Structure 1
Amino acid sequence: MNKTSLAFIGAAIAAPALAQSSVGTLPAITVTTPLGATPPLSVAGSVDSVPGDQLRNAQMQVNLSEAMGSVPGLQIQNRQNYAQDLQLSVRGFGARATFGVRGVRIYVDGVPATMPDGQGQTSNIDIGTADRVEVLRGPFSALYGNSSGGVMQVFTQDGQGAPQLGFGVSGGSFGSWRESLQLGGSTGPFSYMLGASHFETDGYRDHSAAERSILNGKLGIQLDDDSKLTVVMNGVRVRAQDPLGLTPQQYAQDPRSAALAEQYNTRKTVDQMQAGAIYERRINADNDLRLMVYAGERSTTQYQSIPPSAQLAASSAGGVIDLKRNYAGMDARWTTRGQLAGRPFELASGIAYDNMDEDRLGYNNFIGSPASPTLGVQGRLRRDESNNVHNVDPYVQGKWQFAEQWTLEAGLRYSTVSFDSTDHYIAPGNGNDSGSASYEKALPVLSLRYAPSSDLSLYGAWGRGYETPTLNELSYRPDGQSGFNFALKPSTSDNFELGAKTLLANGFLTAAVFHTRTADEIVTNSSSGGRSTFRNAPSTERDGVELSWLHETVSNWRTQLAYTYTRARYADAFCAPLPCSGSNLVADGNQIPGVAPQFFYAGFGYQPAQGWRAGVELRAAARIQANDQNTVSVPGYAVASLYGGYLLRLDRWTLNAFARVDNVFDKGYIGSVIVNESNGRYIEPAPGRAWMAGLSATYQF
C-alpha cells in the first residue's frame, strides 16, 4: 500500500466530517507530567490521551489494541495469542519483542508494569474502569529511564458521587465471552472504584483458547485540605494456550492451523497481585510533595515447543519455564513553583527505585526417552537460578517561561541498572552461569516551545535515551562459554523532534517530524539448543512523520484521523551470528523488522449523549519485514469496521447496548509477525469477518 492510496482513503473518509457545517467544543483534557497535569497544547512533545469512554465505545473491552489506533506513532496489535500479550511499539521502539513488551515503559496508576530490566506486559490492564490512557512519544520519554522509547500510562477512574453499580456482558465470534462488574462512588473524604472482569475465548486459531480474570481497585482518602492518599491494587489470572507462529507455507495451507502447538500442548499460566500507595501533599502555594510505593508478585509457567533432541545438549535450559518474581519500588518527588529573572519557573526533582527478585527454573517439556517422548509435560530439572535487577534513578525537570510566548524546558535523569544472577544448576557440560553487570547513563532532554497565540504551539525537542539488555538477553554468551554475556552493551539513542499543535475550526490538529539515531541496538545473534543469544548492531536510524486530527460538532458527529510514516532501518551492515556467510548478512539500509513503514487510522461516527449511535473505522498498514535480513515480509492490509448501538438514560438507570463487525469485507491478512523467529514461524494470522455484541447497565443509588 503506497502513500497515494493511504492519502486517498483518508480524504474519502474525512470528507463527510469536514462537510459538517456545525462545530462543537472539544472537551478540556490534561496529560500527566512530572510537573503535574498539563494541557496537551502546552507540552513540548507528542502526547495523546485516549479517554475511557472511547476505550469502551462499542468494544468488548478486552485489549488496548481495540481502541488505540487513533494514536499516531503507536503500533499495537492483537496477536490472537493471549499467551504472548499484545505487540506494542512506539516509533519502532519495542518492535523486536517476541513476547511481552520491550523498549516502551508502561504504568498503571503510577505503578510500573515494566520491570527494571525493561520487560513489560499489558495483561493486567482493566479497560472497564480506565479513566484514560496516555501515550508519550519522542525525546521527553527518556526522563522515565531505561527502555523508555515511549511511555504508556493507564489511569483508573476516581469514584464520584452516590454509589454506582454497573455490570455488563458481551459475546462474539470464536466463542468469546466477557462479564464485568464495577462499583464506584464517594462519601465524605473517601472515594472508591472497584472493577472485576472475566474473559474467555475458544480463539480464532486452533489451540488458542484462553481465559483471563482481572481485579482492579482504587481508594482515595482526603486526609485534610492539603493532603491525599490513594491506594491502588490490581490482580490478574491468565490461562492461555499458545498457537505459535506459522511459516509462510503453513499460512498458505491453513491460517488457523496450529499442529506443532497441539503436539507440544504449548501454553502459559500467569498469576499476579500488586498494590501501591500514593501520598500527595500541598506544602504551600508553591511546593508539593508526592511519594509512591508499590509491591507485587508474579508467577509464570510456560510450556514451549522445543524438540527433545534440542534438549539433549547439556547446556539446554529445557522447554518449560517456571518463574516467580517479587518486585517493589518507590518514587519520591518534590515540585516547586516560583520566579526566575522575574518569569514563571517550575522545577520537579526526585528519585526512583525499583527492584525485582526472580527465581527461574527450567524443565524438560517431555518425559521418557527423546526417541519416544511424552510431550507437553514437565520433565527433569534443567535450569535453576536466582536473579536480581534493580535501578536507582535520580531525576530533575525544569520549565521556564522566559518570555510571554517562549518556554524553555530541560531535564536530566541519571539511571543506574544493576543485574546479578546466581546459578544453582551446575553440571558437566553446563558450567556456572552466575554473573553480574551494571549499566549507568545520564539522560538529558531539552525543548523550546513558541506559542504565538493561545491556539497554536510550535516546538523543538532533543533527548538521549537508552535501553539495557533484559535478563533473558544477558543469560547466554554467543561463544557458548559459561557466564553472563558481558559483551552485550545497552543501546543509546539521540532523539530529535519538531512539532506543531493547533486548535483549528474547533478541532485539534497535531504534526510532528522525528529523527532517532541509535548506537548498539540489541538484536538477535543466534538461537539453537534452546538458547538464544544477542549482540549489538552498529547503528540504526528511525525517521518519520506523525499527523493527527480530532474534530467534534455540536450535532454529535466525531472525526478522528491519524497517519504515521516511519523509515526504520539499519544504518550499518553487520552479521549475526559471526562469521559472515552471506545468508546471515544484514545489509545497511535494511528495514528494522516488525515496523510498518506506514500506518493509517480513520474513524467517523455519530455519538450523542444518549440514543442511537453508529460509526465506521478503517485501519491500514504497509508491508512489514519479518527478519533482519529482509528475506521474509508480510503484505500490507486495509480493514474496515462498523458499529452501532443505543444508550438510554432512565431515572437511576443507564443502559447501553452495542453490536460491532470487524473486518467487514472478510479480508484475509496477517495481523502481526514474530520478529526473527528462529524456525521461520514468523506469521500470526488475523481473523476474517468477526462480530461482537454486548449490553451493560449502571444503577445509581
Structure 2
Amino acid sequence: MKFFPAAASARALFCVLAAPALAHAADRDNAPDPRSDMESMVVIGTPTAAEAAAVIQRTPGAVEVIPDTAFKNTPVQNIKDILGYVPGVITQPRMGDDARVSIRGSGLSRAYGSRGLSLYIDGIPMNTSDGLLDFFEVDPSAYRYVEVYKGANALRYGSNALGGAINMVTPTGRDAAAFDGRVDGGSFGYVKGQVSTGGTAGAFDYFATVSAQRIDGYREHSNGNAFRGNLNLGYQITPDVETRFHLYATSTEQRIPGEVSKAQALNSPRSANPFWVLQDQQRNVDSIRLANRTTFRLAETVIDVGVFYNYRHVKHPIFQWLDFTVDDYGGFVRAVDDRTLGGFRNRLIVGANVQNGKIDTEQFVNLPGAVKGPLASSTVDTSKNISFYAENSFYLRSDVALVAGIQYLHASRDRLDRFLSNGDQSGAKSYDLWSPKIGVLWDVDDDWQVFANVSRSAEVPTYDANSFATPANADLDAQRATTYEIGTRGRRGGIDWDIALYRSEIRDELQCLTTGPFSACSIINAGRTVHQGIEAGLGAAIPLSAFALGDSLALNAAYTYSDFFFSGDPIYGDNRLPGVPRHYLRAEVLYKHPSGFHAGPNVEWAPGHYFADNANTLTVDPYALLNFRIGFDVGAHWSAYVEGRNLTDKHYISTVAVAGVADATSEIFNPGTGRSVYGGLRYKW
C-alpha cells in the first residue's frame, strides 16, 4: 500500500485514487475504496493497474503494485528507476542498464546475473529454465505497471524463490494511447528514444512499443546500446473468452568494466579493470520471446492457459569467450474460483507450470581484443521443471480470511560434457520439493489491513553450479527456507503506511563466491543462515495554501533493515552475511502545483559499514546521495522533467562481488555513478 507519484490523466488518476496500493500521498483526497467493488471481481485478460491493486491486496503478506505514473518522469535507464521506492528491495546498478536486484537477501553473492527471484513479463517467465536471471532484456519504460510479490507471497505465479517474484505488465490496446513518444538524454552519453501505439477495432486490440538506447557509460569500457520491442495482440472471442499473443525482441551490446579493488573504486571510480579492457570483455544478447495466454470465464471460475518459447543467443567474451544459445519453452494453467460455500466466501487458486530448456555452450580461450582462441569447453545443459500449486482463502468473517497453500516442485539438471575425453563433467541430479504456506488477512476497516503468514521456499542450483567434476559440485543441495512474516498496510488522516517484519531461517543457502579475477565464482551451500528484517514504506500529504489553491507537499519514504547472518557455521561462525547495507533509506519531499509543476529533493542513504566477504575482513563504506528533480505533467499531451543525481559527486561502492575471504587488494567492487543530469520530453495523444 505504498504511495507513488502519479500523473493527472484520467486513467492514471483513476488508478491512483481507486487503490491505496497505487495512490500518491498528495492525490488521496476523496479517494474511493476499491475493495468493495473490485476485490471479488473476475478479471478477463490483462487487469488494469487499479484492478491489479485490488486483487493483490487479498494477499496476506508484503506485496506492491507500482503504476507507470511512479516512474515515467524519470530516465528509466534501469530497473532501479522502477523499484527504488519499494521497501525490502535492494537494487544495485553495475553498468549500463544492468543491476543486481535482491529481495530479502536473495542472490546477494552473485557477481553476475541474479538468483532467488522470479521475473515475469505479462506473466511469462524471463528467467532461464534453471532459474538464472539477467536484466539486460528489461525495458523499464515499456510497462503499464509492475507487481512485486515478496517471498512466498508469489505463490500465485508458482514462484518458489526466497525473494519472490516481479511481474512487469505491458499495456494493451484497450488502455494505451494512440501515440506515445518520448526522448531522454543526459550524462555519460545517455540517449534513449521510445515510441508506442495502441488501439482497438471491435473485439480486436493491439499494442506495440519499440525503444533504442545508447550510453557511453560512467566508467571506462562500459559503453553499450540496446534495441527492444514489445507487441501484443488481443481478441475477445466471446464476452467470457479472450486470447492474447505476445512477441518480445531484444538486441543488446554491453562492454563490461569489471570489478576493481576498493581503493581504485573510491579513488578512481571512472576507471575499468585493465585486464578486462585488455580482453575487451562484453555481454551481447539477441533474444526473441513468443507467448500466448487465453482466459476463460466459467460462472465463478476463471481459467488462464498459456504457452511460451524463449530463444536467446549470447556472445560473451569474459575470462573465457562464451558463445551459447538458450532454448526455453513451457506452459501454464491457472484457475481461480471465487464463490460462496455454506454462506462463507471462498477463493481457491490452483495451477501448474512447466518450464523446460536447454543451454548449448561452447567456451573458448579469450585472447586480447575479444578474439576467440582454442576451444576450452563444450557442454549441453538441460533443465526440466514442473510445479503444482494451490492456495485457498476461506473467509471466516467478511473481514477475516484464513489462507493456506502448498506447492510441489520436481526439477532436474543434466549436463552433457562434449569436450573432455572421459566426460568427467557429465552428470545429472533431480530434486523433489514441497513448500507449504499458511496465513491470515484481517481487514480492520476499509483503509487498514493486518496480515501474517508462515511459509517454506526452495531453490534449485542454476546451470553454472552443474559441474560434476568434483563431489562438492555434484552434491549441491537445494536451498530451503522457512519464513515468518507479519505486517500491516493502510492509511489514516493523510498518512499511508506499508510495514512488514520477517525472519527467514535458511538451510544450504546457495552462495556464489568470487575466487579470483580469471574464473567464474564458486558455488557452495553455506549451511544455516538467517535473513530477518523490516520493510517500511511511508507516505504523507501536507496541503499548502501559501502559493496556490490546491498545491501540496508530498513525503515519500522507503526504509529497509536487513539483518543477515550465519548461524553456527563451521567456518564463519555467526558472522554477518556480506553484500548489502544493514540500513537503507530512500526518501523524497516533492512540491506539487495544480498546474502540473512538481519539484523536490530526494536522498538515498546507506549508513554504517557492511561486509564484502564471509570472513568479515573487508568492509564497504557508508554513503549518502543527494538528488533533485523538477518536472511538469498535467496528464495530457506534453510532459517533461529534469533530474540531477548524486549532486555532491560522492564516491561510493554500488555493488560487491562477494568473496569467502577478501583483503585490500581483492578486485570485487563496482563503483557507483558520479554526478549526473538527465532530462526527458514526452508527448501522447
Could you tell me the TM-score, scaled by structure 1's length? 0.86
**1:303 aligns to what?**
317
Contact 2:513–2:657, Cα closer than 8 Å, also in 1: no
Matches within 5 A, 1:272-311: 272-284=287-299, 286-304=300-318, 306=319
Matches within 5 A, 1:286-685: 286-304=300-318, 306=319, 319-366=320-367, 374-427=368-421, 431-478=423-470, 485-524=473-512, 527=515, 530=519, 532-552=521-541, 555=551, 557-575=553-571, 587-607=572-592, 610-622=595-607, 623-647=609-633, 654-676=637-659, 680-685=666-671
Report the alpha carbon displacement of residue 527 of structure 1 after superposing the two structures with TM: 4.0
- Matched to 2:538, the amino acid is W
**2:167 aligns to what?**
153
- Residues 346 and 320 (structure 1), Cα distance of their counterparts in 2 relative to 1, 3 Å cut: same
Contact 2:644–2:675, Cα closer than 8 Å, also in 1: yes
Query: Matched residue of 1:380: which SS?
Result: strand
Report the alpha carbon displacement of residue 449 of structure 1 after superposing the two structures with TM: 2.0
- Residues 644 and 542 (structure 1), Cα distance of their counterparts in 2 relative to 1, 3 Å cut: same
C-alpha separation in 2, matches of 1:175 and 1:28: 45
Report the alpha carbon displacement of residue 171 of structure 1 after superposing the two structures with TM: 1.1
Deviations 1:530-577 (A, max 9, x none): 4654221220001111111233566354321111111001112234xx
Contact 2:152–2:162, Cα closer than 8 Å, also in 1: no
C-alpha separation in 1, matches of 2:360 and 2:594: 51
Matches within 5 A, 1:12-51: 24-25=29-30, 37=52, 38-51=54-67
User: Which has the higher mean CA deviation after the structures are superposed, 344-353 or 118-127?
Assistant: 118-127
Contact 1:118–1:147, Cα closer than 8 Å, also in 2: no
Contact 1:612–1:646, Cα closer than 8 Å, also in 2: yes
Report the alpha carbon displacement of residue 42 of structure 1 after superposing the two structures with TM: 3.5
- Matched to 1:559, the amino acid is L
Report the alpha carbon displacement of residue 77 of structure 1 after superposing the two structures with TM: 1.8
| Aligned pair partner of 1:104 in 108, 113, 117 | 117
- Residues 217 and 328 (structure 1), Cα distance of their counterparts in 2 relative to 1, 3 Å cut: same
Query: Matched residue of 2:244: which SS?
Result: strand
Percent identity of equivalent pairs? 24
- Residues 216 and 530 (structure 1), Cα distance of their counterparts in 2 relative to 1, 3 Å cut: same
* Residue 180 (structure 1) aligned with residue 194 (structure 2): yes
Contact 1:157–1:193, Cα closer than 8 Å, also in 2: yes
Report the alpha carbon displacement of residue 162 of structure 1 after superposing the two structures with TM: 8.8
- Matched to 2:526, the amino acid is A
Contact 1:476–1:532, Cα closer than 8 Å, also in 2: no
**2:150 aligns to what?**
137
**2:224 aligns to what?**
210
- Matched to 1:380, the amino acid is P
Report the alpha carbon displacement of residue 609 of structure 1 after superposing the two structures with TM: 6.9
Report the alpha carbon displacement of residue 23 of structure 1 after superposing the two structures with TM: 6.1
- Matched to 1:501, the amino acid is R
Report the alpha carbon displacement of residue 646 of structure 1 after superposing the two structures with TM: 2.4
Query: Matched residue of 2:257: which SS?
Result: coil
C-alpha separation in 1, matches of 2:34 and 2:217: 37
Matches within 5 A, 1:226-245: 226-245=240-259
- Residues 34 and 453 (structure 1), Cα distance of their counterparts in 2 relative to 1, 3 Å cut: closer
| Aligned pair partner of 1:119 in 132, 155, 160 | 132
User: Which has the higher mean CA deviation after the structures are superposed, 502-511 or 198-207?
Assistant: 502-511
Query: Matched residue of 1:574: which SS?
Result: coil
- Matched to 1:595, the amino acid is V
Contact 2:407–2:436, Cα closer than 8 Å, also in 1: yes
Report the alpha carbon displacement of residue 149 of structure 1 after superposing the two structures with TM: 2.3
Equivalences, count: 636
- List alignment gaps of at least 5 residues for structure 2: 1-24, 44-51, 544-549
C-alpha separation in 2, matches of 1:102 and 1:272: 20
C-alpha separation in 2, matches of 1:604 and 1:287: 44
Deviations 1:325-360 (A, max 9, x none): 111111111222233342111111121100111101
| Aligned pair partner of 2:77 in 62, 86, 90 | 62
Report the alpha carbon displacement of residue 136 of structure 1 after superposing the two structures with TM: 1.2
C-alpha separation in 2, matches of 1:53 and 1:105: 24
Q: Provide the alpha-carbon RMSD of the alignment.
A: 2.6
Matches within 5 A, 1:80-91: 80-82=95-97, 85-91=98-104
Contact 2:514–2:657, Cα closer than 8 Å, also in 1: no
C-alpha separation in 1, matches of 2:90 and 2:512: 21
Could you tell me the TM-score, scaled by structure 2's length? 0.88
Report the alpha carbon displacement of residue 384 of structure 1 after superposing the two structures with TM: 1.0
- Residues 125 and 514 (structure 1), Cα distance of their counterparts in 2 relative to 1, 3 Å cut: same
C-alpha separation in 2, matches of 1:77 and 1:631: 22
- Residues 27 and 192 (structure 1), Cα distance of their counterparts in 2 relative to 1, 3 Å cut: farther
- Residues 524 and 41 (structure 1), Cα distance of their counterparts in 2 relative to 1, 3 Å cut: closer
- Matched to 2:638, the amino acid is L
Report the alpha carbon displacement of residue 56 of structure 1 after superposing the two structures with TM: 1.2
Contact 1:620–1:638, Cα closer than 8 Å, also in 2: yes
**2:94 aligns to what?**
79
User: Which has the higher mean CA deviation after the structures are superposed, 510-519 or 160-169?
Assistant: 160-169
C-alpha separation in 1, matches of 2:376 and 2:40: 45
User: Which has the higher mean CA deviation after the structures are superposed, 548-557 or 500-509?
Assistant: 548-557
Deviations 1:210-261 (A, max 9, x none): 1111101222211111111122211111111110011123234422111222
Contact 2:39–2:58, Cα closer than 8 Å, also in 1: no
- List alignment gaps of at least 5 residues for structure 1: 1-19, 307-318, 367-373, 576-586
- Residues 393 and 197 (structure 1), Cα distance of their counterparts in 2 relative to 1, 3 Å cut: same
- Residues 676 and 81 (structure 1), Cα distance of their counterparts in 2 relative to 1, 3 Å cut: farther
C-alpha separation in 2, matches of 1:634 and 1:150: 27
**2:9 aligns to what?**
none
Query: Matched residue of 2:69: which SS?
Result: helix
